[in-house]
Chain A
């Protein structure tokens, strides 16, 4: 092979990817088990509402903000939605990604065209940058944000940016760009279980507990 970056690409998609996947899967499992083993004490109060049903319902209903919330925090809420939706379109509906997932799990589904993927990618990156901006500028978020929060947001944007550059051969060596894209994904997977990226899994647990606590009392959630 003539391309000097070929080995890097092979490393990123080969041994490093396998290692990243292992850390990702094992890490998430450990984190979830670590939460569940803590358990919670039996509640002796006589339930007024339906804790289990409301807990499950809240996993879905909490997806929508309360009236007035968007007006108070437009960038965080609209940016949050757009970033998540764009990220998942680019991640889960791009045909080569589906092929990879099929190779790993045997599961597959139809993808969408390049125009949609690329639009979603660009919009998600813009939304991500807006989120970065409000983290930096808004006094509430600035005070809450740690360097890990900035790192995680940047690491989440890198696969989108590098993927777009590699696929469109915008600049640099295409093989090198593809290697960078896969490296960025490997890194994202490795840091995932150790950071707030875990919310992608634990949000369902948190919403369930919130709904079930309120539901027991017959209160809204």
Chain B
């Protein structure tokens, strides 16, 4: 076995635990996970059957963690893993999986295949088989402050704009406030309106908040690439900034994998509980709504539909909150088929969007969303993930569909009640 393949196998070995062993022991190869996968649905190519994408993890488990497998390995009959195996799996593990989690929901024996893909990526990246774009993003993020490069000037200028637009003061690094806002690079670069939107909503609701000049970016390419060290390093940055400022809560932005990384993986990456709580911006807005601190007036009369980001709804548990909020401001809210927990991915999550090699597959996968949108024929699609927002906007344009895409936080701010 080559040195890189060995590193990959070592990384996979570290990923094996009782859930993984129970999943592989239970799989009866029924193939029902295939229909749950957007890439299989749109290509009908059996190689995209989700459980096949974790084959190397399964082999490590079988060879080393089952009695029968160990006996076979000792007799030289084990199913060893080679460099070629890693090469072959690359496109399945990174290009044809957005870690959307639908397979995990349909498996009759209950296998969390998506969680195993996350683990599989640890082995792939250790073996040197992660997509170059993701490796580049990881380098930029660990050396600088965002996967897009240095955004420290951009954030300063976007905050200045927000102050000028709203007339509300926003202070960096303000100690003693309740909330720390962090943003996704996509928001800072492409959708900075969200900063002003939050400023307006929080001013009305009496929420005290700040932005850290050291850790203002929430994305985490480490969880997409499958590199615990990178993921841990990036999470630690936010954790240290939040604990230094002494905030009670950190607001996870409208970004799917950032929520997954910060809220659910983060404490396990650093190996302890946080000294603060993490709340998703939409959870917070819904809480403010329930407390009567978020009031709106008027409603959008457009036909509006909602796109559920996989990592926030299906894999994050935030399902009813955005719908309660949207119903406050949308007069004509129509759901697409499968909306909610079983919604289909925007087609580019989990690192697929950054991966140029996956371009054709991504376009093929979007056709499913396209048909769903065509059926509803909305004027506007609202979502709560800046990357879904970005993906949908571009894909709609590529497919000559004239539908506006908007972030939910901005939309709430637009209809904020001006009365005191």
Contacts and interface: CB of A to CB of B under 8 A. Distances in A.
Interface of A: 30-31, 34-41, 43-46, 48-49, 58-59, 62-63, 65-66, 69, 72-73, 76-77, 80, 138-146, 149, 194, 196, 198-199, 202-203, 205-211, 213-214, 216-221
Nearest to A215: B317
A127 B275 CA distance: 56
Nearest to A203: B109
Interface of B: 16-23, 25-32, 34-35, 40, 46-47, 49, 51-52, 65-68, 104-112, 115, 263-268, 270-274, 277-278, 313-319, 341-342
B16 A38 contact: yes
B17 A41 contact: yes
A99 to B, nearest CB: 31
A30 B274 CA distance: 38
A80 B30 contact: yes
A144 B265 CA distance: 31
Contacts of B266: 45
A142 B23 CA distance: 20
Most A-side CB within 10 Å, residue of B22, B49, B277: B22
Contacts of A31: 25, 66-67
Given A38-B16, A41-B17, A203-B110, A144 B26 contact: no
Contacts of B313: 219
A139 B46 contact: yes
A77 B106 CA distance: 12
B18 A141 contact: no
A40 to B, nearest CB: 4
B271 A44 contact: yes
Given A49-B317, A219-B317, A38 B18 contact: yes
Contacts of A30: 67
Nearest to A135: B29
Contact of A40 (B17, B29, B315, B318): B17
Given A62-B108, A206-B22, A209-B23, A39 B17 contact: yes
Given A34-B65, A219-B317, A202 B26 contact: yes
Given A69-B106, A206-B109, A41 B342 contact: no
Contacts of A65: 106, 108
